[in-house]
Amino acid sequence: MQPNILFVFADQLCYSALACNGNRVVRTPNLDRLAREGVVFDQAFSSCPICSPYRAQVLTGRYAHANGVIDNEYALFEGETTIAHALKKSGYKSAYVGKWHLGYPPYTAPARFGFDDLYAYNCTHRYYDVSYWHNEDGPFPMVDFAPRVETQLTLETIQAHRRDHPESPFCLFLSWGPPHWSTVDGVRDYGEYPQQYDIYDRQQIDVPGNVPRQFEAFARREIADYYAMVTSLDACMGRLLDALEAWGLAENTIVCFSSDHGDHLSAHGYGKPGATDAWMHHTLQLSKGTPLEESAHVPFLLRYPACVQGNQRTDTMFNS
C-alpha cells in the first residue's frame, strides 16, 4: 500500500533550536517524540537558505539556478515538474497549506504547480493578521494564531481526503510562518505568539560565544521569544501526530519535519534587515542567507513506522 506523506516545515528554525538536537532550554516534547519514533538527520542543510529558493528546491528537487527561483519573489521556470506532478501519476491527491512564497493568489491550476488544493498565501509575517486563499477563492481571514489555523486546515484536509478519496494516498505540505520574526507597526521581533508560551527566563538563555558582547542582553530577550515561538509550533505538531494516531494513519504515513533555513539570532554580529536595524551596515542586516551554521543547518526528522526503525540518528549529509 502506498504511504501517505505529510511534510511539515517551519520558517527560519535553526537545527540547534530543538531539544532532540541537544538544546537544554527549549521545550519541544512533540518533536522529541517524532525524533524518538523515527530518524534524526544531523547533517541536513538548506542549500540556498532563503524562503522562496528553499521551497522551489524541495518541490522540484533541483537547485535554485536550475529551477529559476534564485531569490525571494522569483518565479519557477515554466514547465518545472514538482513532487505534486510526479505523485499525481501514481494516484496521489495533494495539498499545500500555509506560507507559499512562490506566487500571489488567486491560485489557478497553473499557479498551483500540480497541487490539487492550496490553502495558502504568498508571504506575510503578521501571525494574527493573515488571510489565505483556497485555490481561486478568497481571501479568508484566519481568526487565531496562524499556525493553529493552518494546523486545523491540515487536519480538515486529511479528513476530507479520507471521506472523498479513501482508496488514494495523500501528499500534504504544511508550511508554518514562525519562528521567523513578525513585523508589527514597523517593528521586527519574535514576540507575536500566544502568551501561554511566554515561559522562558531570559537569564537562563545561553548566548553563543559568537554573539558580540554588546549584543548579549538583546540576544537573550530575542532568543527567549524565539524559543516561545518554537514551543507554540511544537504544540501544533502534537495535534497532527495525535490525529494520525487516532485515525489509524500513523503506521503508513511518512512524516517529515524540517525548516527552510535557520536564523543568525545575533551570531557573528548580524541583525535583521530593515528599518529597526538601519543603524547597522547593510552587509550585517542579515537574519539568514549565508553559508554559516546558524543560517544553513536545518533540522530534519523523519518517521515511517511501516518501514523505518525508530530511535535512530544519522550523519548522512544532504540538502534541500
Tens digit of each residue's pLDDT (9 = 90 or more) over 236-248: 999 999 999 999 9
pLDDT in tens, 85-127: 999 999 999 999 999 999 999 999 999 999 999 999 999 999 9
pLDDT in tens, 197-210: 999 999 989 999 99
Helix H segments across 187-215? none
Give the pLDDT score at 279.
80
Stretch (H or E) spanning 153: helix 146-164
Total residue count of the chain as it appears in this document: 320
User: Is the model more confident about 60 or about 206?
Assistant: 60
Q: State yes or no: is 51 an active-site residue.
A: yes
**Mean pLDDT, rounded, for 67-81:** 96
Residue of 14, 51, 171, 256 with catalytic role: 51
Distance CA 83, CA 87 (A): 6
**Mean pLDDT, rounded, for 65-85:** 96
Stretch (H or E) spanning 60: helix 51-60
Whether 16 has a pLDDT exceeding 90, the answer reads yes
Which residue bears the cell 549584543?
A: 215
Which residue bears the cell 486563499?
A: 133
Q: State yes or no: is 101 an active-site residue.
A: yes
Give the pLDDT score at 285.
87
pLDDT in tens, 241-298: 999 999 999 999 999 999 999 999 999 999 888 756 778 888 888 899 999 999 999 9
CB 236 within 8 A of CB 197: no
Give the pLDDT score at 275.
58
In sequence order, the β-bridge partners of residue 137 are 134
* 186 confidence band (pLDDT: 50, 70, 90): confident
CB 7 within 8 A of CB 260: no
**Mean pLDDT, rounded, for 124-140:** 96
Residue of 20, 101, 125, 134 with catalytic role: 101
Residue 125 exposure: Cα atoms within 13 Å on the Cβ side: 20
**Mean pLDDT, rounded, for 56-77:** 97
Mean pLDDT of the chain: 96
